[in-house]
Structure 1
Amino acid sequence: MLAAAGAVVAASLVLAGCASGSGSSSDGATSSTKADGQFPVSITTALGTTTIDSQPKRVVALGWGDAETALELGVQPVGASDWLGFGGDGVGPWLKGAYTKSPKIIQTLEPSYEDIIKLKPDVILDVKSSGDKDRYAKLSAIAPTVAVPKGAANYLTTTKQQVDMIAKALGKEAEGKKLLSGLDDAYAAARKAHPEFAGKTAVVGSYSSEGFGAYASSDSRSQFMENLGFTIPKAIDQQAGKQFSVSLSDENLDLLDADLTLVLPIFVDASKVTSNALFQKVPSVEAGHDIVFDDPDVSNAFSLGTTAAIEWALDKLPSQFAAKLG
């Protein structure tokens, strides 16, 4: 996992949720009449328009899931951030062996700009990120930097936006469309296999040293469930307001109640959740309609929001959901 010094911050990011999904959100990439892969290209971001003069050969990928997205498009970053602490090349088991040469691993929240300079990047990807202006200024002084799309600061970039923007930057738009089409097909197949999900409610919760939380419908994990046919209770969104997650006090743990309740332990053992007496009193938990994730790979796949991670999770989770629904 991330270094202990950053554990609290990292936990807040995991709780905050890094929203994704292959929905209809604007993709953030400037439309162009050029054929796929032709340069220069311009990409509109929340922090300005980035122009890339020629197809990048040396890519540094810093945002949450940006490196995995580049890999899925056939481009191996020379530098990458490992947000979920996978170790090694910084990717999950769904992309094991995707690198032929390991990237330089760059710190997440406070990257070493000196290390990035040494990598001599042609482009820097910071698409699913905080949207911090100072960070962007420092990165864009090194190389053209693709920042968060408009309205997606604080890790709210959707899967579609991430794929579209990175595909545009790398001259891989046709490949990007195939990734998103494949993801849509995977969701459709899961819905067809499990029509019982339609109309059922689901709450995706979390548990950390600070207590329980729940993800709003704008978060990637909740969108995963919605794409399977579940609905997220309106009470969660009402509590979250404009945020994409909400902290739950002991008094309102019943907000976790749904036809299916999921909980992701964050830097704590799953037993800390299952042994919690108040959690056990949530109606859906009492009825046995809950899953507390105890496999880090599954939890990470469910959380990362890249097309490869989502499809990997789709191979494993729907059958578990169906079993818990009874």
Structure 2
Amino acid sequence: MPRATRASRLTGLLASVSLLSAAAVGCGSSDPDSDSGASSSGGSGSSAAEGAFPVTLDHKYGSTTVKSEPKRIVTVGLTDQDAVLALGKVPVGTTEWLGGYKGAIGPWAEDKAGGADTPTVLKDTGTGPQVEKIASLKPDLILAVYSGLTKSQYDNLSKFAPVVAQPKEFNDYGVPWQQQTEEIGKALGKETDAKKLVSDVEEKFTEAKEANPAFAGASGLIATPYDGTFVFGSQDPRSRLLSNLGFALPKDLDKVIGDKFGANISKERFDLLDQDVDVWIVPDTTKAVTKLHSDKVYADLNVVKQGREVFVKESSDYGNAVSLSTVLSIPYVLDRLVPQLAAAVDGKPGTKVEQPAS
């Protein structure tokens, strides 16, 4: 699977999505593409809790009832596969967003797949879910929790399986990893297990904060040099990494970007970048730094002068894990991000913020 380009990753989220017609649903092939290794055993995994079904889940487009334990799960949400894997199930179909991983399963989640068949990978091309290919997998549950699913797409997919769409109380692609995990846990009949997973990861955040009291109340921002300067809002999972660690996001952040997960800002709003720490997700940690610092407006900010920048290479496993920010990828991220943040906010401009060894 070729690695997704930097532009296509964000474009898949920023571009408007078009519909495949309802007729396309009806003509779905019964023979999955040759890259499909998934079979009915792919979604077996551990059993649901007794009495867990039927279960009804509310979402942006109403509610969906899952009548019995799902066996063939397809994840349309760009990061939903990690919660499914963490709960002992292996999807028959996953949606690739970034990384180019086999089955769209990152290294932090590989051990959860066990000996199950590799999921069929669906591509997020910016045109919406691959309806025909999804139909050919004969799912009994479609998860679109971390998604920007439209009502028409939801209606189309609901013609052949129950669909759990994104929560209505958050922006598209804005569901917190905690709620994502718990919603998927309910859908799989494993609500208690999901709550335990969330609690275990939250404990890692607590440990990091206790070990780094300088994080409390320090201000931070996550950005990327995409088509100028793109900053992530408070409802983006990347930004929540900082807020979960005790950092405060800029007060005007959401006012500037609106009801999106993020937006490009002009140089007139580079004041948003002058925080106690800036985390940059960049294509190349050397070239990107040089380019950023060549901008006199940015280079004159205290965050630059005092060495309080953190750089994360987006196409690395670390960078992919930061962008996904799931119940499985977050512990992987914290092992690498916390030491970088600690070096950035130690009050010593001369401290070098090192790149993780791996």
Whether the TM-score (by the shorter chain) exceeds 0.5 is yes
**Quick one: distance in 2 between partners of 1:5 and 1:250?**
21
Residue 52 of structure 2 is aligned with which of 38, 42, 48?
Answer: 38
Question: 1:282 offset after TM fit, Å?
Answer: 2.5
Report which stretch shifted further, 68-77 or 96-105.
96-105
Q: Contact 2:235–2:261 (CA<8 Å) still a contact in 1?
A: yes
Q: Contact 2:278–2:310 (CA<8 Å) still a contact in 1?
A: yes
The answer to whether the aligner puts 1:131 opposite 2:145 as a matched pair is no
Alignment gaps of 5+ in structure 2: 16-47, 347-358
Paired AA for residue 308 in structure 2? H
Q: How do residues 12-23 of structure 1 correspond to structure 2 at under 5 angstroms?
A: 12=14
The answer to whether the aligner puts 1:95 opposite 2:115 as a matched pair is no
Instruction: Give SS of 1:143's match.
Output: coil
**Quick one: distance in 1 between partners of 2:270 and 2:50?**
50
- The residue that corresponds to 1:216 in the other structure is 233
Q: How do residues 45-64 of structure 1 correspond to structure 2 at under 5 angstroms?
A: 45-64=59-78
Q: Contact 1:40–1:54 (CA<8 Å) still a contact in 2?
A: yes
- The residue that corresponds to 2:340 in the other structure is 320
Instruction: Give SS of 2:229's match.
Output: strand
The change in CA–CA distance for 1:139 and 1:102 in structure 2 (over 3 A counts) is: same
The change in CA–CA distance for 1:255 and 1:4 in structure 2 (over 3 A counts) is: closer
The answer to whether the aligner puts 1:115 opposite 2:133 as a matched pair is yes
Q: Could you report, residue by residue, the CA deviation over 1:18-66 in whole angstroms, capped at 9, with x for unpaired residues?
A: xxxxxxxxxxxxxxxx976521111111112211111011111110211
**Quick one: distance in 2 between partners of 1:61 and 1:117?**
12
**Quick one: distance in 1 between partners of 2:51 and 2:197?**
16
- The residue that corresponds to 2:178 in the other structure is 160
Residue 284 of structure 1 is aligned with which of 303, 322, 325?
Answer: 303
The answer to whether the aligner puts 1:175 opposite 2:193 as a matched pair is yes
Instruction: Give SS of 2:200's match.
Output: helix
Q: Could you report, residue by residue, the CA deviation over 1:263-284 in whole angstroms, capped at 9, with x for unpaired residues?
A: 112xx43344311211333321
Report which stretch shifted further, 243-252 or 51-60.
243-252
- The residue that corresponds to 1:18 in the other structure is none
Residue 141 of structure 1 is aligned with which of 128, 151, 159?
Answer: 159
The answer to whether the aligner puts 1:308 opposite 2:328 as a matched pair is yes
State the identity as a percent. 36
The answer to whether the aligner puts 1:104 opposite 2:120 as a matched pair is yes
Instruction: Give SS of 1:98's match.
Output: helix
**Quick one: distance in 1 between partners of 2:70 and 2:257?**
40
The change in CA–CA distance for 1:228 and 1:56 in structure 2 (over 3 A counts) is: same
Alignment gaps of 5+ in structure 1: 14-33
**Quick one: distance in 2 between partners of 1:64 and 1:152?**
16
- The residue that corresponds to 1:76 in the other structure is 90
How many residue pairs match? The answer is 303
Could you say which structure has the greater relative contact order, defined with CA pairs below 8 angstroms and 6 or more residues apart?
Answer: 1
Q: Contact 1:36–1:172 (CA<8 Å) still a contact in 2?
A: no
The answer to whether the aligner puts 1:262 opposite 2:279 as a matched pair is yes
Q: Highest Rg: 1 or 2?
A: 2
**Quick one: distance in 1 between partners of 2:92 and 2:118?**
8
Instruction: Give SS of 1:114's match.
Output: helix
Paired AA for residue 149 in structure 1? P
Residue 2 of structure 1 is aligned with which of 1, 4, 18?
Answer: 4
**Quick one: distance in 1 between partners of 2:51 and 2:345?**
46
Report which stretch shifted further, 236-245 or 159-168.
236-245
Question: 1:180 offset after TM fit, Å?
Answer: 0.8
Question: 1:217 offset after TM fit, Å?
Answer: 2.1
**Quick one: distance in 2 between partners of 1:286 and 1:152?**
36
Q: RMSD over aligned Cα, in angstroms?
A: 2.2
- The residue that corresponds to 1:274 in the other structure is 289
**Quick one: distance in 2 between partners of 1:11 and 1:136?**
17
- The residue that corresponds to 2:353 in the other structure is none
**Quick one: distance in 2 between partners of 1:56 and 1:11?**
28
The change in CA–CA distance for 1:102 and 1:39 in structure 2 (over 3 A counts) is: same
Instruction: Give SS of 2:230's match.
Output: strand
Paired AA for residue 65 in structure 2? T
Residue 194 of structure 1 is aligned with which of 212, 229, 233?
Answer: 212
The change in CA–CA distance for 1:104 and 1:219 in structure 2 (over 3 A counts) is: same
